[in-house]
Structure 1
Amino acid sequence: MTALVEVKGLAKTFDVSAPWLNRVIERQPRRFVHAVDGVSFAIPRGTTLALVGESGCGKSTVARLLVGLYGPTRGTVEFDGIDTAATLASPGARALRKRMQMIFQDPYASLNPRWKVRAIVGEPLREHGLAMTEAELEAKVAALLAQVGMAAADMEKFPHQFSGGQRQRISIARALATEPEFLICDEPTSALDVSVQAQVLNIMKDLQRQRGLTYLFISHNLAVVRHVADSVGVMYLGRLVELAPRRTLFSAPRHPYTRMLLDAIPDIAMTGRQRTPVQGEVPNPLNPPSGCAFHPRCPHANARCSSERPELADFQGIRIACHAVTEGRL
């Protein structure tokens, strides 16, 4: 399958230094956070890649880099063979933005409370010249709302008149307005109740089948990822540590961090299997550990792990960054 999205060596560094005068008085150096540090992956057309990991691992930063909300410090994002950073800074930006859209995490914050649903969903249609008259706009907004299981009459309401799940459906309808090929979903169900999560996820899967959509799905909920993803990338402190097909990752996780994440899922079937809760805390990103960033929490770490950073490499049908796995210690 051809890759619609290809990310190569993507990195984003944020300057979090104190103001210049404070640094001079307190004799502090400038400080930087490597939020994303050399991430590479490809998403075949019509499939879903999920990125998972603990809070602060860089998942949402990757999402914002892909849609151009942040500019990369280094590395490239190619969409259908087009370099997105260069295109978004050129006259071709409008055409590219039409083809890729984002669904944000918080449906309470991502919708303008002063606008009716007609204006919220209709804004992309006006912006991209997809509805020339008011009647055409109304018909298209009604059709988009129907696709996400809402009534045409809902377009006359304000966001505060809806539940969280309904608001997220409105967000999905807005994202679909430009008929995009690629949707970046930044934890789209994390603010919703479990039963509502299932409804929204089923809508997204149905839309993918109907429209051939490609998704980057960002989540920390592995049960959700198991339901929607074709392949899964596990992130830790700004880097990918394992990238594998969904079935492989859930049936035979290789990286110690992936195993810890899966062991943290409640064992509803009461199988009695040995479980290892995730130990320790995520290190301070301002002062990450040397070598493999996971080595202070890893039960299989040795001297090489603490001094030499593993690179993400192909290994037995998956991609993994772990000395213990490649050396056969695990």
Structure 2
Amino acid sequence: MTAPLVQAHDLAKTFDVSVPWLNRVIERRPRQLLKAVDGVTFDIEKGQTLALVGESGCGKSTVARLLVGLYEPSRGSLMFDGKDAHAGYRSGESQQLRRRIQMIFQDPYASLNPRWTVEDIVGEPLVEHKIISSASELKDKVGELLKSVGLSPLDMVKFPHQFSGGQRQRISIARALATEPEFLVCDEPTSALDVSVQAQVLNIMKDLQRQRGLTYLFISHNLAVVRHVSDRVGVMYLGRLVEVAGKQQLFGAPQHPYTRMLLDAIPKMHDTGRARTPVQGEVPNPLNPPAGCAFNPRCPHANERCRNERPALLELRGVRVACHAVEENRI
């Protein structure tokens, strides 16, 4: 058995969101720390897709930025292909590691430089990593990359404003593929697009995965999209993973009450007469999370243990789930 390509263990990121030092002294206010990610553990097999889902603000994008080295973790480790990735990002291996790990950002309108042509945008990683030396070679390679995402090599002279949102995201995918990476971190790559365009972009990503053997971490809050692209799904709530399971298992027999709540809120084609169950309550303030299980104020199965003791992510009923009620067979 080979080790998974990506292994995150107890990964955490805390941000200091305090008011300035002088205000704290004058107003006698303590420092405020925000635990954006609080002890996340998962692994991704080579060629597989792990999707992370959850409501806005649950820490999904922070996990993405930790994986590509944009943030340094407050604690925990990230292993990529058996080596410590964050030690690699800080060392002389950084360039080589960044070739192998690339990211597709959420907003195709903000992630492309409006003053650069498509040739400059897609060609930048090729020049930066010294993959291409001559200008003619660069044009040929950029043309190939554009063709691989369903665009024309003739588009390389255009600017981003001349494209639709879906086409811009294809340019972002072409740029990410330029260094021939093994692992792509996709931070809600279709959330800014129309539904019909979403399907086109997702199909391109699935085709590229098959052709190139790519490994994906796919972040989304759209469960229909997750069902289409993932092999395994991790459900996040307030910076922690509450359930990790195979796609069929998670959608067919969800264990955690929060996962059930998310799935109940999806409109279903065949249940047109049945009232939809809205997601109950509000996400607690992440600066002052509840004691015990973070989900307990919204959970119909919460008891005294849930309000005082934080559940660990355990292997139960064939899935990894952090829930006292599941552990005690109260659901």
Pair in the same fold by TM > 0.5: yes
SS in 1 for 2:5: strand
Q: Distance in 2 between matches of 1:271 and 1:79?
A: 45
- In the TM superposition, residue 276 of structure 1 has moved relative to its aligned partner by 2.6
Query: Distance between the aligned counterparts of 2:136 and 2:215, measured in 1?
Result: 31
Question: 1:275 deviation in Å?
Answer: 4.4
Q: Deviations over 1:243-277 (max 9, x none)?
A: 00000000000100000000111122226557432
Q: What is the aligned partner in structure 1 of residue 173 from structure 2?
A: 172
> In the alignment, which residue of structure 2 is the partner of 1:86?
87
Aligned partners of 2:184, 2:161: CA distance in 1, in Å?
Answer: 25
Structure 2: distance between partners of 1:211 and 1:177: 12
Q: CA deviation at 1:298?
A: 0.2
Partner of 1:38: 39
- Cα displacement string for residues 79-132 of structure 1 (whole angstroms, at most 9, x for unaligned residues): 001111111110010000000000000000000000000000000000111111
**Distance in structure 2 (CA, Å) of the matches to 1:293 and 1:110:** 33
Q: How many Å separate the matches in 2 of 1:13 and 1:249? A: 29
Q: Distance in 1 between matches of 2:330 and 2:169?
A: 45
2: distance between equivalents of 1:319 and 1:95?
33
Structure 2 match to 1:4: 5
Which residue type is aligned with residue 328 of structure 1?
N
- Map 1:10-29; keep pairs closer than 5 Å: 10-29=11-30
Residue 2 of structure 1: CA displacement? 3.5
* Structure 2 match to 1:77: 78
Q: Tell me which residue corresponds to 2:267.
A: 266
Match of 1:58 in 2: 59
Cα distance in 2 between the residues matched to 1:219 and 1:235: 11
Cα distance in structure 2, aligned partners of 1:276 and 1:158: 45
**Deviation (angstroms), 1:31:** 0.3
TM-score, structure 2 length as denominator?
Answer: 0.98
Structure 2 segments unaligned to the other structure (5+ residues): none
TM-score for both structures, normalised by structure 1? 0.99
Residue 185 of structure 2 aligns to a residue whose secondary structure is strand
1: CA distance between counterparts of 2:290 and 2:132? 53
Pairwise CA RMSD: 0.9
- Map 1:197-208 → 2, pairs under 5 A: 197-208=198-209
CA contact (8 A) 2:266 2:276 kept: no
Counterpart-to-counterpart distance in 1, 2:81 and 2:215: 12
Q: Deviations over 1:122-150 (max 9, x none)?
A: 00000111111000000000000000000
Match status 1:280 vs 2:268 = no
- Structure 1 partner of 2:119: 118
1:102 aligns with 2:88: no
- Corresponding position of 1:297: 298
